[in-house]
Chains A and B, each alone.
Chain A
Amino acid sequence: MSTRSVIVFLLVVALLAAAPFVVYPVFLMKALLFALFASAFNLLLGYVGLLSFGHAAFFGFAAYVSAHVVKVWEWGPEGGIVAGTAVAAALGLVFGWLAIRRQGIYFAMVTLALAQMVYFVSLQASFTHGEDGIQAVPRRPLFGIVDISDNLSLYFFVAVVAVAGMLLVRRAIHSPFGEVLRAIRENEQRARSLGFRVDRYKLLAFVLSAALAGVAGSTKILVFQLASLSDVEWMMSGEVVLMALIGGMGTVWGPALGAVVIVAMQNYLAQFGAMVTILQGIIFVAVVLLFRRGIVGEALAFWEKRRKAGAADDTASATLPERQGKAAPGE
């Protein structure tokens, strides 16, 4: 890691450590988990170019599984997260296997249809308790020893999980695997002609994305002590699309920022009731029409433009030799 990224990392850690003393921890936990959810979703949308319209299934069903094993089977929170994540990954394998052969709108339709089936199961199955959901999920001690029953200590646990998950997404993007994904997104036919089994790479990306969405969902039940239908609903699948687009799909941190923006709006504008939905709609339309790259994407593009203009000035005035180094990957 360069010194600059170490400094940025330490700053973020300090900020996250200080935040719960200033802002309500439950809000922070919600924002962090949605940030992870949106980042996981973006691994697929931004880096493979696949628009899933069924990610609520992974998020919401993982929540049910986690809540069930913690409440009924009396597992610890870490067990709940592992179980929820594993089930989300398995669902991801099935969804992915069925959907990745389709392109564009058909891919989105297949994921939506499958997610609706998961919703239906969640509505009908007995362990999910229908409209009531799984309520009063206990906050057992972490690994049987660490008390996380109060919001502040839970916050630190959730922050570690969410940040670790987002760092894994970032790593996957900047990994050898991520490099192949980039090639596939740039020119799928060419990638195939070079011998890459394109479907397998897409499938792995899908499973990773689903599993990390599952991490977010199964951790969320510790915060709210509740798993409910609202997390498996298609509206939730739509919301995560919105988060990624607002923040900037195809940027590493954009979707996380988009998630924070949306969660903050829902939180602080809750008093205005239905207005929030309308406002979200307006923002969505504005982003699609005016700021297609999203907040982070537009900011990066702006910087890049200034940097290029600056570099052009440099070469013009001093005729510096052209730099060989590659531009730093978008953060």
Chain B
Amino acid sequence: MAEVAIRTENLSVSFAGFRAVDGVDLSVEAGTIHALIGPNGAGKTTCFNLITKFIRPSSGRIWLGEQDITALEPDAVARLGMVRSFQISAVFPGLSVLENVRVALQPTLGVTFQFWRSNRILRRLDDQAMALLDRVGMAAVAGERAADLSYGRKRVLEIATTLALDPSVLLLDEPMAGMGAEDVAMVANLIREVGRNRTILMVEHNLSVVADLSDRITVLQRGQILAEGSYAEVSSDRRVIEAYMGEEVTDA
């Protein structure tokens, strides 16, 4: 058996009686790119929120590698090496592009609680931050306020910030939503590249990207796993085609 990076068992959560995620047993193999797809409202983001501990499950357990993380806080999960991005772009709008990445790097200096020290020390991180920005093609806008970026570029910045933590497990919630074609190609390459030595769980509606990148796909519908397998297996599954009402999956 290959090593498992993320595992959930009977993961469920209800919002006012509505079971948004309902008994999900998910297993993501270490070192693979795993896609989580499904129609709008299927519970994909809610799954992410559960796995990263931003919401508490009504029942079920979650493991990160060997460790049971069911009772942990979101920041603790991040420190264990599982970092997520958000469906709605999550940057620090008032900070510059460079500062956005730099703040994520700050814990490596071990100075985050030092209130008596000048923040000039953070300049030591500038090269590293610039290298990350360069990697996503944003070095030229390093001095701009994140708030002034286009939506797509904010998403790219968010990915750069996530990568700054050098996580071993990445959860990306629709990383390409709202991006221009150029950035989609760039981010797809980036995901492939960083996915070589990490585990990536990704929600994405762009099915050609999913087909292209993922080793394995889980299809979610109404909070439950509908199908699972390679792209070829999943896209030929009758129930999946029905779930997508025959549109996207068949012509992808």
Q: Which residues of A are at the interface with B, using a C-beta cutoff of 8 A?
A: 168, 171-172, 174-180, 182-183, 186-187, 189-198, 200-201, 204, 208, 323-326
Closest to B81 in A: A195
Are B90 and A189 in contact (CB-based, < 8 A)?
yes
Are B113 and A201 in contact (CB-based, < 8 A)?
yes
Interface string of B84-123 (1 = CB under 8 A from A): 1010001111111001001110110101111111110110
3 cross-chain pairs, A with B, having the tightest CB-CB distances, nearest first:
A195-B78, A186-B92, A177-B115
Are B106 and A180 in contact (CB-based, < 8 A)?
yes
With contacts A175-B119, A176-B119, A197-B75 taken as known, whether A182 is within 8 angstroms of B96 at the C-beta atoms is no
Residues in B whose Cβ lies below 8 Å from that of A196: 75, 107, 112
| 6 additional A-B residue pairs with CB within 8 Å, beyond A171-B116, A193-B74 | A174-B118, A176-B111, A177-B112, A192-B54, A192-B78, A201-B112
Residues in B whose Cβ lies below 8 Å from that of A187: 90-93
Residues in A whose Cβ lies below 8 Å from that of B94: 182, 186
Interface centre among B86, B104, B162 (most CB of A within 10 A): B104
A93 CB → nearest B CB, Å: 15
Question: What are 13 contact pairs spanning A and B, CB under 8 A?
Answer: A171-B116, A175-B115, A176-B112, A176-B117, A179-B103, A179-B119, A180-B112, A182-B94, A183-B92, A189-B90, A194-B162, A196-B75, A200-B113
CB neighbors of A among B214-239 (8 A): none
Are A174 and B165 in contact (CB-based, < 8 A)?
no
A145 CB → nearest B CB, Å: 28
Residues in B whose Cβ lies below 8 Å from that of A174: 118-119
Are B119 and A178 in contact (CB-based, < 8 A)?
yes
Residues in B whose Cβ lies below 8 Å from that of A190: 86, 90-92
Distance A318 CA – B230 CA, assembled complex (angstroms): 58
Distance A196 CA – B103 CA, assembled complex (angstroms): 10
Interface residues on B, range: 35 or more
Residues in A whose Cβ lies below 8 Å from that of B116: 168, 171-172, 175
Distance A244 CA – B92 CA, assembled complex (angstroms): 25
B129 CB → nearest A CB, Å: 13
Are B143 and A182 in contact (CB-based, < 8 A)?
no
Are B118 and A175 in contact (CB-based, < 8 A)?
yes
Are B107 and A195 in contact (CB-based, < 8 A)?
yes
Distance A204 CA – B47 CA, assembled complex (angstroms): 33
Closest to B92 in A: A186
Are A195 and B118 in contact (CB-based, < 8 A)?
no
Are A193 and B83 in contact (CB-based, < 8 A)?
yes
Are A179 and B122 in contact (CB-based, < 8 A)?
yes
Interface centre among B83, B106, B112 (most CB of A within 10 A): B112
Distance A294 CA – B52 CA, assembled complex (angstroms): 40
Interface centre among B103, B107, B117, B121 (most CB of A within 10 A): B103
Residues in A whose Cβ lies below 8 Å from that of B122: 176, 179
Are A192 and B74 in contact (CB-based, < 8 A)?
yes
Residues in A whose Cβ lies below 8 Å from that of B118: 171, 174-175
Distance A314 CA – B167 CA, assembled complex (angstroms): 44
Distance A172 CA – B118 CA, assembled complex (angstroms): 8
With contacts A187-B91, A190-B92, A324-B143 taken as known, whether A208 is within 8 angstroms of B115 at the C-beta atoms is yes
Residues in A whose Cβ lies below 8 Å from that of B86: 189-190, 193
Closest to B112 in A: A180
Residues in A whose Cβ lies below 8 Å from that of B142: 324
CB neighbors of A among B41-77 (8 A): 52, 54, 73-75
Are B78 and A326 in contact (CB-based, < 8 A)?
no
B161 contacts partner chain A, Cβ-Cβ < 8 Å: yes
Residues in A whose Cβ lies below 8 Å from that of B102: 179
Are A176 and B114 in contact (CB-based, < 8 A)?
yes
Residues in B whose Cβ lies below 8 Å from that of A186: 92-95
Residues in B whose Cβ lies below 8 Å from that of A183: 92, 95, 103
Distance A182 CA – B96 CA, assembled complex (angstroms): 12
From B90, B95, B117, B121, A193 is in contact (CB under 8 Å) with: B90
